[in-house]
Amino acid sequence: MLKNSVDSSLVKIGRIHHAHKKYNIFTSTRPINKLKQQILSLNKDESKLLSGSLCSIKDNIATKQEYTTCSSSSLRDYKSPFSATVVDLLEKHGSIVIGKTNLDEFGMGANNSYSHIGQTLNPMYDDNKDSETFLDADKYVPGGSSGGSAAAVSAGVCDFALGTDTGGSVRLPAAYCGVHGFKPSYGRISRWGVVAYAQSLDTVGILGSNLEIIKSVYNVLNQYDTKDPTCIDNQVRSRITALTEKLTSIDDAKKINIGISTDYLAKGVTPDTLATIELLASKLFGSGYNIVPVKLPSLSNAVPAYFTIAYSEATSNLSRYDGVRYGYSTIEAGKETTEDYKSFISKTRSEGFGAEVQKRILIGNYNLSSEKFQNNYLKAGAVRKKLTAEFNSIFKLPNALYTLDVQGSDVHSPTKVDFIIAPISASRAPKLSDLVEKEKSDPISTYVNDAFVIPSSLAGLPSISLPWYSNSEKYPVGIQLIGQYGDDQRVLEFAKRVEELNSF
């Protein structure tokens, strides 16, 4: 049970309007008066796991009370007749939803720039949080696509927020905004009611100001849901438990092996980030952990494979937004009526989707076209399998989704590891002004960070982004801890040990 005092909760919701005005965090917020009433009417003796905690929900997760827009013009007035399993679970365990957060349209983006309600800004670098003024020099991007969720936690208006992580969309904004962001193993948390971007990768993630709250929320959401065909069933869950029980306790540092792969560190990492990883490694080594170099040769192909898979699935998933049954349609908008369904649908979609979404749909269609499909989509799937096999070969814990004979060979790591440490991003959050410049001069640059976060998405691995503080810098940078598939609990425990080392 969370020990949130009524007073601190009231302070938090008191900040909502100011924070939203400054950082453009929410697509909608619940009425402050009603939230106040909810907080004041809390039963103090209630012992639900998340009693009285305040949370924000990324606006690609369905709720019944307000619109679920995915920050897209195409769904700007779409109200879901049902709510996501994750939202039901949070409310059942006593959490109070304060609002829905901004994102890159349908989750497609890494800076929270592609939203029909505009850019969300990063509260962490704002040195005058309480003031109305916001200097351009203090305006940083929050990362994306769960930028609104990271900003809500960072601005201190809620205890935690739900995001979705398809290729780093929880971990990157958490790192940029100085909060904790956990992407559990794929299939641990139900996706029923989570609007699909690329559902072989989509994972509900948790952003919070500390590890305790993340653990509590994870424990509530870590449930089998019969409504989601990709949610792992209880049989697999027990298999994972049985496998992890065989591993040595996390407390015995000497028996814990930490992997570092130069394949992660190869591209565009700033000295700043590199130094952080080195420091982390030396601290772990100093505490008795074994540091083991590991090889993941397929990492070099991970980014193109990811974009091929994600864009293809996105193209397919977004086909339903045709304006016929719900959402934006060109007729309803009072424009000219169109003669046939084809022009109606294409007009609706051209007007309803933003530029980035349209770009990704086009690329996805190209990859799915009958000439390219065999070459691209299936090849990407093969890379994904190979990468997963490489991960399986370096972790001590067998992958519960695979039978033992396809766990992969031992060539990549003679010593098997418990966890891998890696950066989250090449550098800190960019300034808003730099981002605009950079996108113009070097559009590929926004993909640099993807190399660090995408591998865990492709292999479905539990990964957490932790803020790492140092003597020299005012603001933390993100570091990433990765575990074998299903090893979520131990990743969270290990994260706690790592945080304990981050004192100076």
Partner 1 sequence: MQTMFARSKMWQSRTLVRSISTSRILLKAKSDNSVLLPQYKFKCGLEIHCQLKTDKKLFSNSGHTFNELPNSRVSFFDAGLPGTQPLVNPEAVLLALVAGVSLNSKINLQSTFDRKHYFYGDQPLGYQITQHYNPIGKGGSLKLLKKFDEIDEQEKTITLDQIQIEQDTGKCIHVEAGVSTNEYLNGILYSKIDLNRANTPLIEVVTNPDFDDLKQVKAFIKKFQSLVKFLNISTGELETGAMRIDVNISINGGNRVEIKNLSSSTAIIEALKYEYKRQIKEVESGNHISQETRGWNGSKTVTLRKKESKVDYRYMPDPELSSISLDKTIVEDIRTNFVSTLPDDMIEMLTSKPYGLRIKDAKLLINNTYDGLLDYYMDAFSKTVGMNDKVPSKIPGNFILHELIGQLGKFNLKFSPQILPVSKLSELINVIYIDGKLTNSSGKLLLKYIVENHDDTAVQSMTIDDLIAEFELEVPEQNDADLNLELGELCDEILSNHAEIVENLKNGKKLGSLQYLVGQGMRATQGKIQAKVFEEHFKKSLGLK
Binding residues vs partner 1 (CB under 8 A): 61-62, 68, 70, 75, 78, 80-82, 84, 191-196, 198-200, 226-230, 312-313, 315-316, 318-322, 324-326, 331, 337, 339, 341-342, 345, 365, 368-370, 373, 377
Q: Which of 73, 80, 113, 145 is flagged as catalytic?
A: 145
146 tagged catalytic: no
Our CB check for partner 1 shows the closer of 117 and 401 to be: 401
3-state helix, strand, coil in the chain (%, to 5): 40, 10, 45
Our CB check for partner 1 shows the closer of 274 and 331 to be: 331
Our CB check for partner 1 shows the closer of 86 and 394 to be: 86
CA distances from 39 to 93, 148, 152, 162 (A): 14, 23, 18, 20
Give the H or E element holding residue 463: strand 463-468
329 tagged catalytic: no
The first and second tokens of residue 348, run together, are 């609706």
For residue 219, give the DSSP letter: H
Rounded least distance, CB 320 to partner 1, Å: 4
Our CB check for partner 1 shows the closer of 195 and 284 to be: 195
Our CB check for partner 1 shows the closer of 278 and 332 to be: 332
Picking from 71, 92, 83, the residue whose alpha carbon sits closest to that of residue 24 is 71
The first and second tokens of residue 481, run together, are 């801890």
Strand partners, 28: 100
**Burial class for 31, CB neighbours closer than 10 Å (0-12, 13-18, 19+):** exposed
Our CB check for partner 1 shows the closer of 345 and 498 to be: 345
User: What is the rounded distance in angstroms from the CA atom of residue 291 to the CA atom of residue 281?
Assistant: 7
Q: Which of 169, 261, 413, 463 is flagged as catalytic?
A: 169
User: What is the rounded distance in angstroms from the CA atom of residue 376 to the CA atom of residue 364?
Assistant: 10
The first and second tokens of residue 390, run together, are 């490489």
Rounded least distance, CB 327 to partner 1, Å: 8
Our CB check for partner 1 shows the closer of 135 and 331 to be: 331
Q: Is residue 368 within 8 Å of residue 316, measured between CB atoms?
A: yes
CB atoms within 10 A of CB 275: 14
Rounded least distance, CB 107 to partner 1, Å: 12
10 backbone dihedrals φ, ψ, rounded to 5°:
-65, -35
User: What is the rounded distance in angstroms from the CA atom of residue 360 to the CA atom of residue 153?
Assistant: 29
145 tagged catalytic: yes
Our CB check for partner 1 shows the closer of 24 and 329 to be: 329
Q: Is residue 171 within 8 Å of residue 424, measured between CB atoms?
A: yes
CA distances from 54 to 25, 97, 98, 202 (A): 15, 6, 7, 24
* Cα dihedral across residues 239, 245, 248, 253: positive or negative: positive
Peptide bond into 463 cis (omega under 30): no
Q: Is residue 476 within 8 Å of residue 467, measured between CB atoms?
A: yes
| Edge-to-edge order in the sheet of strand 160-165 | 26-29, 96-101, 54-58, 160-165, 203-208, 180-183, 463-468, 477-483, 419-423, 257-260, 290-293
User: What is the rounded distance in angstroms from the CA atom of residue 502 to the CA atom of residue 504?
Assistant: 7
Q: Is residue 170 within 8 Å of residue 56, measured between CB atoms?
A: no
Our CB check for partner 1 shows the closer of 62 and 214 to be: 62
Rounded least distance, CB 368 to partner 1, Å: 4
Q: Which residues are catalytic?
A: 58, 145, 169
